[in-house]
Structure 1
């Protein structure tokens, strides 16, 4: 069902952006696929109750609740701009329905500009808010990404968020509700609790009477509690460097036979060895984090010293791992290990990444007990004291006969590949049908037969939008493939879709 929802969304975006080429405009970047990402969704109430005006005792001026909300959001964004600049922020507005005002972005100034032009609507309904946020995170990031949700509304949230039809989020994270207005105290006293049902989160409100400084204080408190920086010491022998882990690593909780064990990462990350990347492959991963050098001191900034002129072990390690194609084995705590790797994103920007493995000394099963790893034995030397070079007997094959669609990115990549081949027909006609048959057989094997109809629609749409000067065989082949995909025999896994013979 998740893959079907993903493809339907994918097809909808294709139809919306058919005049702009085949581009998925909602994709953030490949960092979201590594897990090294932080995300926050801000939900703003636009109901009629938010138009209520309150006099600010500090300035003797009158503000609406929405203006108080805008001031609190600006305070939060200013904090992120200084202390957590990699945080992705999205904004949704809600009343009787919920709309996406701003997708996930790091351009905090654009968010400030958008929230200054909001219009009031009708009464508030909370279920659409949860549904829209679930859809937004699932579409642009992943349900495995931790995402914090900050909801700004009036005091009626105490009643609305305790409705029986309110369900938790589909992704890990907490809902923090900031109610504004005097009515919040009434509902707070009735329920005598700040906790939301189903473990969704909690409610925190500014002190009354409401002022701009008190609203800013609440949002500063939220920012300090949520966006806690993780500073650690990266050490290898005598080389040391203060580093910043983004996002901050979470504790690992594991249920044992008679107790629940919790592991926390130490403030000292000790490198205990190096491994070839080809030997590590893809072990089970708990989380991934950017490893950035700690900010330089104020003295360096005042003296206009450039960062490239300041030696950093973190930069040295990154360049060495990248050049040698190796990974650094790092001890995070007792019986807990991680890997430091050089990772390149889709913009060819290289970053140092910490891959946190599952606790235990057997986190990489094919290497055995990590504590028993030793240095590579010395190569046997010939009579001339020249090292004997060992040549691999077999070459690794990177051909993937089966298609795996665990995440939406894999499915979108395969469909993109089909359309790229389609645009190069007739030169790539054989490659086009080869990729089309691979996806068709995989969809039949997974029971994902609706995918065939969706691909047929995409091929017809691509055919209608072919640019001028395209070879006429391209339109004929796309029409032929779309027509055959809708035939009953196309559902047979033994059938092979062949190119149209053009005389």
Structure 2
């Protein structure tokens, strides 16, 4: 999960901080000290994560692109210049551009916004941006929420009392809510000093950058592993109350199976160290054989381990988490029913591989497997109406097809309560009846009038004519004489 550090480089960050010692500090110095503390922690525990450094005032600048070189980030941080006024909206637009250009809109990202809590002045200030949210056009939309999954942490180099007096704390919390509310606003507890800023960044590390250590078990073999990024709790909606599921640090390897390309990565598992390790053996086996290993993360919660290469030379052991359930993959059935072929009463694959127990067929046919009519866009509805009209102009040769399409549209309109559609199509059929050429078969006029009349009756909603299971049948005529 990449991180963007957004550093406030406005003039308000140069305000001095009163210290007991003779040395004078600016708020900028305290912020740099806190970020250096964060970078040192990430260099020790998150060496494989990418981090970018951006600076902003009225404009924004990408100081260090996404990198794993934390020395470069610290050097750039110590050489930041001071600029003009604060403009948070411009900076957030910059974050959106940089992340989408590098990672797209599917990769989750963490944003650490470091500021002194100042909202800025006049147009472009955070207060002005929030006040004008409802009066914007589509071309000037506020950058939050980001088009990619985000956790935003706002680090204010100011104590809570100071921010509350100026009304800035409410604005920062409002900004966090606009981003989806996933994150936190951090302030200095107690007087503004070096120790207070260290404690604030320590709380950030505990919240967002605390390593997740676990033990991977497989029979008598086990290995200590570290999972990046940290697996988040999953809330399962139950009828009584929602339950939060967390990954058990003792992870059990259930079994292996053939692998195609994985569709989605939920979290990554990386192993560091040069000593012989079961995890390295498992990774190499899965990579060579092109297989996956089922893993149990907790009660009724499963995932899979597999090897994925991010280049021709480097490959990582990845872990994808399924939805908490006994049947996370419907085609696979219950995970607890899986086992070796030798324990089965008969070979489920047959003697000549002519049959397979997979995919497991559901006992009841799903409703979404039925051939139903869905109108998501206006063009789909227009196509269905035009199909009816084309068949109407070819009556009586297309009588069966005409009534088939008419009844399909009628049932869909009744299901959606779209009474006006029935009335509109009835008027179209009446119009087609008046436009019939003199050479048209007389049965065409009778069928069009009959169909239009039946649609009008159905549009009234009367249960006698608007029954869903009822079908409009062709009018019986006899022109043989």
TM-score by length of 2: 0.62
State how far apart, in whole Å, the 2-side matches of 1:376 and 1:42 are. Answer: 53
CA offset at residue 256 of structure 1?
4.7
Of 296, 303, 306, which aligns to 1:338?
303
Which residue of structure 1 aligns with residue 269 of structure 2? Answer: 290
State how far apart, in whole Å, the 1-side matches of 2:198 and 2:116 are. Answer: 16
Which residue of structure 1 aligns with residue 338 of structure 2? Answer: 373
Which residue of structure 2 aligns with residue 361 of structure 1? Answer: 326
CA offset at residue 149 of structure 1?
1.6
- The answer to whether the aligner puts 1:175 opposite 2:160 as a matched pair is no
Unpaired stretches in structure 2, ≥5 consecutive residues: 134-141, 345-349, 356-481
The answer to whether the 8 A contact 1:40-1:89 is kept is yes
Q: Deviations over 1:121-162 (max 9, x none)?
A: 221111112211112111111333332222222232499555
CA offset at residue 106 of structure 1?
1.0
The answer to whether the 8 A contact 1:157-1:179 is kept is no
Which residue of structure 2 aligns with residue 32 of structure 1? Answer: none
- The answer to whether the aligner puts 1:45 opposite 2:15 as a matched pair is no
- The answer to whether the aligner puts 1:116 opposite 2:78 as a matched pair is yes
The answer to whether the 8 A contact 1:289-1:354 is kept is yes
- Which residues in structure 2 correspond to 1:389-408 (within 5 Å)? none
- The answer to whether the aligner puts 1:134 opposite 2:96 as a matched pair is yes
Which residue of structure 2 aligns with residue 248 of structure 1? Answer: 230
Distance 1:324 1:111, change over 3 A: same
SS of 1:128's equivalent? Answer: helix
CA offset at residue 207 of structure 1?
4.3
CA offset at residue 351 of structure 1?
2.1
State how far apart, in whole Å, the 2-side matches of 1:224 and 1:248 are. Answer: 12
Identify the range of structure 1 (43-52 vs 184-193) with the bigger mean alpha-carbon deviation: 184-193
Distance 1:286 1:369, change over 3 A: farther
Identify the range of structure 1 (80-89 vs 356-365) with the bigger mean alpha-carbon deviation: 356-365
SS of 2:29's equivalent? Answer: helix
The answer to whether the 8 A contact 2:217-2:251 is kept is yes
Which residue of structure 2 aligns with residue 219 of structure 1? Answer: 201
- The answer to whether the aligner puts 1:77 opposite 2:39 as a matched pair is yes
The answer to whether the 8 A contact 2:86-2:119 is kept is no
CA offset at residue 275 of structure 1?
1.0
Rg larger in structure: 2
State how far apart, in whole Å, the 1-side matches of 2:278 and 2:183 are. Answer: 40
- The answer to whether the aligner puts 1:231 opposite 2:184 as a matched pair is no
TM-score by length of 1: 0.59
CA offset at residue 190 of structure 1?
5.8
CA offset at residue 86 of structure 1?
2.0
Number of residue equivalences: 329
The answer to whether the 8 A contact 1:79-1:220 is kept is no
CA offset at residue 255 of structure 1?
3.5
Which residue of structure 2 aligns with residue 89 of structure 1? Answer: 51
The answer to whether the 8 A contact 2:189-2:196 is kept is yes
SS of 1:57's equivalent? Answer: coil
- The answer to whether the aligner puts 1:151 opposite 2:141 as a matched pair is no
Which residue of structure 2 aligns with residue 195 of structure 1? Answer: 173
Which residue of structure 2 aligns with residue 315 of structure 1? Answer: 280
Which residue of structure 1 aligns with residue 438 of structure 2? Answer: none
> What is the RMSD computed on CA atoms of the aligned residues?
3.1
State how far apart, in whole Å, the 2-side matches of 1:75 and 1:282 are. Answer: 36
- The answer to whether the aligner puts 1:328 opposite 2:293 as a matched pair is yes
Of 153, 161, 178, which aligns to 1:185?
161
State how far apart, in whole Å, the 2-side matches of 1:286 and 1:349 are. Answer: 17
State how far apart, in whole Å, the 2-side matches of 1:124 and 1:326 are. Answer: 52
Which residue of structure 2 aligns with residue 471 of structure 1? Answer: none
SS of 1:233's equivalent? Answer: strand
Of 17, 29, 33, which aligns to 1:67?
29
The answer to whether the 8 A contact 2:158-2:188 is kept is no
Q: Deviations over 1:196-231 (max 9, x none)?
A: 442264322224543333322322221122112111
Distance 1:236 1:168, change over 3 A: same
- Which residues in structure 2 correspond to 1:18-29 (within 5 Å)? none
Unpaired stretches in structure 1, ≥5 consecutive residues: 1-37, 296-306, 380-387, 394-503
CA offset at residue 244 of structure 1?
0.8
The answer to whether the 8 A contact 2:265-2:319 is kept is no
State how far apart, in whole Å, the 2-side matches of 1:265 and 1:112 are. Answer: 34
Greater RCO (Cα-Cα under 8 Å, separation 6 or more): 1
Distance 1:130 1:200, change over 3 A: farther
